[in-house]
Amino acid sequence: MTVFDTTLRDGEQTPGISFTFAQKLDIARQLAGIGVHAIEAGFPASSEGERETVKAIADLGLDSVICGLARSRKEDVDVCIDCGVDMVHVFIPTSEVQRVHTIKKTPEEVLDITREIVSYVRDHCDLCMFSAMDATRTGTEYLISVFQAAAEAGATIINVPDTVGVYTPTAMKQLIGRIVAEVDCPVDVHCHNDFGLAVANTVTAVEAGASQVQVTVNGLGERAGNADIAQTVMILESIYGVRTGVKTERLFETSRLISRYSGIAVLPTQPIVGDNAFSHESGIHSHGVIACAATFEPGIMTPEMVGHRRKLTLGKHVGRHAVRQMLTHAHITPSDSEIDQIVEKVKFMSTKGKKVTDADLYEIAETVMGIGNGGRAIELQDIAIMTGNHVIPTASVKALVYGKELVCSSTGTGPVDAALKAILGVVPAKIQLKEFNIEAISGGSDAIGHVNIAVEDEHGNIFSASGSGDDIVLASTEAMVNAINLLQRIRQAEEK
Ligand code: MN
């Protein structure tokens, strides 16, 4: 089983997405690094920029097969070859609706073009993928004759695209079964998600004998996108027991990289890579997971396997076991009656519609238990921020750090970035910002801003904190100061 990733081609055709040249090279390196067998780097004939990108990716010397897309025209193929790709992927529409309305060719003409273009590719390149575009809406007998023609002309792999995502797993199983039996060539599938069946159709094709799957990171692609790499790979690895060659423990990081570059956030409930994929809030589930993770997780797939984390979250469904576990982290050990009070307060806070952060939990615990916080590690005294259209955003802070006055200034991409960097500049510990999100609580430009952040210390511990106010820069600094103080408090507890 091999994986063919088309994030850089079909994924880049996602409406609203345009990766920069540098981002595309990064994405190609990442995909090769995680063991993707083949990377579709782009469609070189579409523009000069695309040509340069595909050439640059081919020049990286990555371990993956680098593929370029071409219409069934010699000039498109020539451009691909000039880019130095390892594989040329040629396609032609075969369904009646696409034949009649796009290329205006008869079925016989399509067969002739197929033979001609595939043998032309093979005269210049060792690897040729042939796609019958809109295969799933093409008559099966005719489709098979086109694939046979491509195989006889030297195609090294044939691709069966469900171009408009209208197929079902049952139909896919039958179709791929017939193609595998009747066409002497390895079979690959490319499924779209218009009805949400892209991944199901892809893995069913594997059941029926397909030997390669086309995917994109985060399921990017035209319209509703393509089969998602993380879901497809994990179904094959964990449920089917099929090896894909992909380093699954890097799927999460890959998803986040593409999310950052594409500007398209991953839904919290997205399988495998969503924030909630291994999160537990309800009392029953958290209790079960603390005892044995497989109680309320798939078990055959763990967060470690995909590079994610298990998280117990605080909310109105939280239970005593989760709260106790989270406090143990900070060496806080409440009695049974104290735990009850803490849980009550957490539930009360979240029913008010407020997200309960780690910092809030420790504060509640300390209040209930009547323990001091041992002094704040950092106390912000002054902060000044300058920003505008012709200045580099700059922030300077004065803070008491363990009673000692320290100052630091920093520039940033914006005022928030500059302010947070200046604060981190006075803190002795190595802290990295992992998450930052801001919401306007009421409408209007004078709305109260609420900032939620998560920071990570050098040991990989992650803590959340928040801040609010009518100035988003100050709300952000408050959240950061809260996070730092929380971290220091936990450090002190550890040392005791
Ligand atoms: Mn497509």
Q: Ligand 1 mean position to 193 CA, how many Å? A: 10
Count of structural domains, the chain: 3
- Ligand 1 centre to CA of 226 (Å) is 7
Does one domain contain both 230 and 288? no
pLDDT of amino acid 373: 55
pLDDT at site 375: 65
Phi, psi of 411 (to 5 degrees): -100, 165
User: What's the pLDDT score for residue 374?
Assistant: 59
The DSSP line for 235-250 is IIIIIS----S--GGG
Residue 471 three-state SS = coil
Q: For residue 269, is it within any domain?
A: no
Where does a domain end: 369, 392, 416?
369
Q: In DSSP terms, which residues pair with 435 in a beta bridge?
A: 454
Same domain, 335 and 399: no
- Is residue 421 in a domain? yes
pLDDT at 372: 64
**300 CA → ligand 1 middle, Å:** 31
Q: What is the pLDDT of residue 67?
A: 98
Tell me how far the alpha carbon of residue 398 lies from the centroid of ligand 1, in angstroms: 54
Closest by CA position to 73, among listed 126, 125, 114:
114
Cα-to-centroid distance, 259 and ligand 1 (Å): 19
Q: 89 CA distance to ligand 1 centroid (A)?
A: 12
CA distance linking residue 397 with residue 265, whole number of Å:
32
Domain match, 350 and 306 both: yes
Distance 194 CA to ligand 1 centre (A): 11
> Which phi and psi angles does 276 have, rounded to 5°?
-90, 0
Question: Each residue's pLDDT tens digit in the chain (496 positions)?
Answer: 999 999 999 999 998 899 999 999 999 999 999 999 999 999 999 999 999 999 999 999 999 999 999 999 999 999 999 999 999 999 999 999 999 999 999 999 999 999 999 999 999 999 999 999 999 999 999 999 999 999 999 999 999 999 999 999 999 999 999 999 999 999 999 999 999 999 999 999 999 999 999 999 999 999 999 999 999 999 999 999 999 999 999 999 999 999 999 999 999 999 999 999 999 988 888 889 988 999 999 999 999 999 999 988 888 888 899 899 888 877 888 999 999 999 999 998 888 877 888 888 988 888 888 876 556 788 899 999 999 999 999 999 999 998 899 999 999 999 999 999 999 999 877 888 888 888 877 677 777 888 889 888 888 888 888 888 888 899 999 999 988 888 887 777 777 6
Give residue 170's domain range: 2-262
Distance, CA of 202 to CA of 162 (rounded, Å): 10
Distance CA 70, CA 314 (A): 51
Q: Is 357 found in the same domain as 387?
A: no
- Using the mean position of ligand 1's atoms as its centre, give its distance from the Cα of residue 265 in Å: 21
Alpha carbon 141 to chain centroid, angstroms: 39
Domain end, chosen from 201, 230, 262, is at 262
Residue 51 is predicted with a pLDDT of: 98
Looking at the domain assignment, is residue 270 inside a domain? no
Domain limit, last residue, from 369, 388, 403: 369
**Structural domain includes residue 272:** no
**Same domain assignment for residues 126 and 235:** yes
Do 360 and 388 lie in one domain? The reply is no
323: number of CA atoms within 13 Å, CB side?
A: 30
DSSP secondary-structure letter at 221? S
Q: Provide the 8-state DSSP code for 217.
A: G
Residues 392 and 325 in one domain: no
Residue 488: predicted pLDDT: 81
Residues 238 and 288 in one domain: no
158 and 139 share one domain: yes
CA 222 to ligand 1 center in whole angstroms: 6
Q: Report the C-alpha gap between 45 and 30 in whole angstroms.
A: 24
Q: Give the environment of ion ligand 1: residues with CB less than 5 A.
A: 10
Residues 157 and 12 in one domain: yes
- 67 CA distance to ligand 1 centroid (A)? 15
Residue the block writes with tokens 């050990």: 333
Same domain, yes or no: 130 and 31: yes
Distance CA 482, CA 490 (A): 12
Pick from 80, 158, 159: nearest CA to 125: 80
User: Which pLDDT score is estimated for 143?
Assistant: 98
How far apart CA 406 and CA 394 sit, in angstroms, is 17
Between CA 450 and CA 136 the distance in angstroms is 49
CATH number of the CATH domain containing 460: 3.30.160.270
pTM score, whole prediction: 0.85
Instruction: Report whether 418 contacts 397 (CB < 8 A).
Output: no
Closest CA to 393 of 479, 476, 485: 476
Query: Are 191 and 90 part of one and the same domain?
Result: yes
Residue 157 lies in a domain: yes
Instruction: Flag whether 267 is in a domain.
Output: no
**Cα–Cα distances in Å, from 69 out to 44, 52, 159, 322?**
7, 14, 12, 51
Q: What is the CB neighbour count within 10 angstroms for residue 267? A: 12
